[in-house]
Amino acid sequence: MKKAKENKSLIRIGVSIPSDLIRVFDKYRRKRQYNNRSEAIRDLIREKLVEQEWEKEIQGQEVIAIITYVYDHHQRELVGSIIDIQHDSPNNVIVSQHVHLDHHNCLEVVIVHGEPDGLHNLANKLKSLRGVKHCQLTMTTTGISIS
Ligand code: NI
């Protein structure tokens, strides 16, 4: 069989980015010692793709994860909705911790376990609530596969 030719040629692409986003990105890039935007963008793309690959590998397996979100507790009916969502997934939620950040904002950290798809659904439900400002799902191994 003929060996596939390795393609390392560079392709230039044009991307439109809002000016305030590129300002924040440039700050990020300088802080991480990137001399140009291209390499910083390439690394971000690689990071995301590796993450996706890993998620494909662990599909169907039990994982443990942390869902972190910040929300305004003055938002009408939001606290009730958050509690309802957690109660609808009693087999996933292990523990949740609440921190009152300031007059308006609360931080919650929920430790969950289960299959990646189910945990994504749970995090997406929380993320889509009006008043939830930031929501992040971080998955890791249960430790069984680490020797
Ligand atoms: Ni609070």
Protein residues near ligand 1, an ion, with CB under 5 A: 100, 106
pTM above 0.85, yes or no: no
What is the CA(137)–ligand 1 centre distance, in A?
A: 20
What is the CA(125)–ligand 1 centre distance, in A?
A: 19
Using CB atoms within 10 A of its CB, is residue 36 exposed (0-12), middle (13-18) or buried (19+)?
Answer: exposed
Average pLDDT on 1-12 reads 66
Using CB atoms within 10 A of its CB, is residue 78 exposed (0-12), middle (13-18) or buried (19+)?
Answer: middle
Measured CA to CA, the distance from residue 69 to residue 110 in angstroms comes to 9
Model pLDDT for residues 87-121, shown as the tens digit of each residue = 999 999 999 999 999 999 999 999 999 999 999 99
Measured CA to CA, the distance from residue 139 to residue 146 in angstroms comes to 15
Would you state the structure tokens that stand for residue 129, as one six-digit string?
């609530």
Model pLDDT for residues 47-57, shown as the tens digit of each residue = 888 888 888 88
